[in-house]
Structure formats: C-alpha cells, structure tokens
Amino acid sequence: MAEIHELSAVRLRDALHSGELSALQAADHFLRRVEVQNPHLGAFITITAEQARMDAAAADQRHALRGRGGDALPPLHGMPVAFKDLTDVQGVVTTHGSAALEHKPAVSDGALPAALKSAGIISLGKTQVPEFGLTAYSENRVAPPSRNPYALSRSSGGSSGGSAAAVAAELLPFAPGSDGGGSVRIPAAACGLVGLKPGRGLVPAGESSGDPAQLVVAGPLARSAADAALLLDALVPGPADASYLQLTAREPGRLRIGVSLDSPWQTLFPFTPEREALDALADGVARLEAAGHETSEAAIRYDNRYPDAFTTAWTAGVGSARIAPQREALLTPLTRTFRRRAQQRSAAKLNESLGFLRQFQRDTITQYARWDLVLTPALAQAPRPVGWFTGAAHGGSYWPAAEWAGDADEDYRKQCEYAPWSSMVNVCGLPAISIPVHWTGGAPGSGLPMGVQLIGPMGSEGLLLQVAAQLGF
C-alpha cells in the first residue's frame, strides 16, 4: 500500500472500513505530518492531537464491536479532517482569526462539525483563516500566515486558506471549507484543488452569523472530484444508489457551456486578467471541447450597483460583532475600517442593498440560463505573495500590529481584482466548482496552479462533480 497520506480520500475510507488501517494509525500518521510541516506552512492555528488520538481509539473500538454484531460504521469512520477557525468545535478555542476577541473554548459543536462528527470523522484541529473570514488571503494577528505548499512565499488564498494548504500538502485527505464570497473556490484554485461551493441551503453553513444576504455555504476541498463527492455525501446523505460519489463515475451528457470574462466588479475596479488566468481558461475550454461539450462566448451584463450592495451585505456582520471597545485597536486595518463603516450605515441602507441583491440574483440567473454551465477563470492572477494585499513584507512567524501598514481600501481593491468572478455566485445562491486545469510551469506540480470555475443552476452539484471527474480531476 502507498504511504497513508498518498491515498485518495476514497481509498483511505475503504482501508479504514475494512480494517486494513486503524483510525489511530491514520490519525497518528497525519498528526506527525502536521507536526513536521505546519511550522513553515501555517495551515493550522490549533492542533488537537490528544483529543484526536482519544477519538480515534474510540472509533477503533466501534470497529471492533461491529465485528461482534455492533452498529454499522458511519460513512466517514476514522477519516481525519480539520475545521476552519471560524466555526465552533466543542472544547476547542475559536479565534475567528482575531486578536480582538477573547479566546475561549466552544461549549458545543457548530452545525458543520456536528454533522461530520456524526459521520465518523476525527478532528485534528482548527485551520488558519483571515480575521472573521473577510479576505481572499489567510493572514491575521493570531498565528503565522497560511502559505501555499507549491511556493511558500505565496498565499494559499482565503478564507479557507489553512484548510486548502493542509489538503494540498497532504496533511489531510480532504477538508470542509465555507464559502461566502469565494472562500472555498479561491484557495482551491490557489492550491491546485477541486473546491465545490454547493447551492444555497444544501448543507450546513458552518458559520453564518451576521450573514443577512445568506451568502455562506459549506463545501468540500479535495484533491479530486471523487474525494469531494465523498465529503459532500456525508453532509447531504441520500439514497445509496444516488450518491454524489457514484455520479462522478458516470459521464455527463453533452453540455452547452458559456465562456465569460465579464465581472460585476469591472466598472468599479477595471482589471486585466493575467496571462496565466487566460491560459487556464483556454486549457479549460480545450478540455471541455475534447470531452464533447459545446462552448461559446457568453456576454453577461451585470448591474454596476453591485459592488456597493455586495460590500454593504458582506461587511454587515463585522459591524455587529461583539468586540470590547478597548480591544478594537487589535483589529486589522481592513476589519477596523469595514466595522466602522458598517456601524455608521443605516438599517435602511442595508435593506436597500439586500433588496438590490435579490433583484441581481434574478437577473443574473436569467442570463445564465442560456447555457447549461458558465465557465470563467477561477482567479484573475496567479497566487499572490504573502503580505501583498496588506502591503506588509513579512518573513517571520507572526504579524505584529506595527507591520500591518496597508490601506484598507487598497487591500479590498486588490482582492476584488484578484478574484472578480466569485462573489456574484454566492449572491445568486448557485453551485460552482473550481477545477485545477493549469500549471504555470506547464506540467502538473510545476510552477503554480491555476484553475477555472464552472457555475451551474440550482441542484447541479452532481453535474459539476461529474464534469470535473470527466476532465480527469
């Protein structure tokens, strides 16, 4: 058998169910990898090794009882995962990536950990996030920045950046992320993973407080479509003969796919996609056409009021976060700026923005309906250097307050130009998937990964996974 960390999640699941591997063996193996690699990778904020080993030993006892007539094993029996440090795991501190909060152990599990613990997972800890999940990079004042396994000087993206880095570096077989404006798809693209954002309401959100526009949904980060499907099946249990994993083994029918570079951000922040992004899009088109699908240019018209309305809804939650006045100075410049603006904004302004976003959703879905799927680059630029968004060059372990010298509006502009095709999908509530079709060095694993995004209609999660699998991922 290959090294444990080299196994696909599906193969590891099978080995754990059959008894070929014990849960404790798997947990120990991945914990050792975390211990060695995390100091330079920054994927984990908190490592719960002792609890993980206790939980794995208990899982092994359940496995032994099954052989003597005990209950059937849960679908993800013994599978190691970790959770973003935005969602509560009982007995573990939730930092929300913020030095301004008191860090206390959570009294109970959030919806996402509760669902996956019921499915049999073993949690190894909490992964790095930006403060309150607000940014497309995972850097904060709590712990070292999350770095890209393919180039440690580069960011792993955000806000599920620590989870993506851990999966890409084979510290985990797969991981749940959450996506409110691209937070699964952005780090998936940056780290060469398959990242699925399900449609609104399909799975537990993970962390959705202060989300008036219902933007946030949880979804899988994985090294293949089949592994992503396995995790999604645990979150959305269905009939055994209609699982997402089984769907990935079937070919989709011939699809009409619209190809677009249009973005609702381009009027406020005019941007030019980098050559690497256009190369990734060309590779995606070529792969889809080779698989028998029809592609054509898709001209999408987006209302230019979108940036203001989205930003209003996106930052509403940080305005209402419970932070002691004397600790607000510990917030990053971007969080502090958006918190102040959110608190100064009227309730009428928020309601007006939410009403506009509902109309934007209807208009955009009507346009997308001309095609079966819509294709865009996943990112407009190659993964950015650590510190690039904040304007702070950093080579040490932590980011003290003195080094966060960047301008909040410049930071936000850079993020919107980096990932201009993601947030509108959350507003529309649609499923979308990032697929790592391109490498800047020309071959898988060489240079930096670049992905494409496929957007589908409501209920198309299975189709998106099918297409990703059909393309060889």
Q: Quote the CA–CA distance of 38 and 32 in Å, as a whole number.
A: 10
Are 97 and 131 in contact, with CB atoms under 8 Å apart? yes
pLDDT at 88: 96
Interhelix angle 225-235/9-18, rounded to 10 degrees, is: 60
Instruction: Give 263-286 pLDDT, tens digit per residue.
Output: 999 999 999 999 999 999 999 999
Q: φ, ψ for residue 433 (rounded to 5)?
A: -135, 140
Are 406 and 253 in contact, with CB atoms under 8 Å apart? no
Instruction: Give 158-202 pLDDT, tens digit per residue.
Output: 999 999 999 999 999 999 999 999 999 999 999 999 999 999 999
Residue 321 DSSP code:
S
Pair type for strands 294-297 and 373-377: unpaired
Both tokens assigned to 342: 């959110």
Q: Which residues is 154 bridged to in the sheet?
A: 385
- From 156, 160, 183, 260, the catalytic residue: 183
Both tokens assigned to 449: 């990964």
Instruction: Dihedral sign for Cα 464, 466, 467, 472, please.
Output: positive
Are 381 and 418 in contact, with CB atoms under 8 Å apart? yes
Both tokens assigned to 214: 């219902």
Are 191 and 157 in contact, with CB atoms under 8 Å apart? yes
pLDDT at 65: 87
Residues of the chain with pLDDT under 50: 208, 395-398, 401-402
Nearest CA-CA partner of 76 in 207, 218, 177, 173 = 173
Instruction: Give 319-330 pLDDT, tens digit per residue.
Output: 999 999 999 999
pLDDT at 363: 98
Q: What is the largest CA-CA distance in the chain?
A: 65
pLDDT at 404: 62
pLDDT at 385: 96
- Whether cis (ω within 30° of 0) applies to the bond prior to 155 is no
Q: Known catalytic residue: 159?
A: yes
Q: Does the 4-470 domain belong in CATH 3.90.1300.10?
A: yes
Q: Quote the CA–CA distance of 451 and 454 in Å, as a whole number.
A: 10
- From 159, 208, 224, 434, the catalytic residue: 159
pLDDT at 206: 56
Report domain extents, the chain. 4-470
Are 130 and 180 in contact, with CB atoms under 8 Å apart? no
- From 22, 84, 260, 263, the catalytic residue: 84
pLDDT at 45: 98
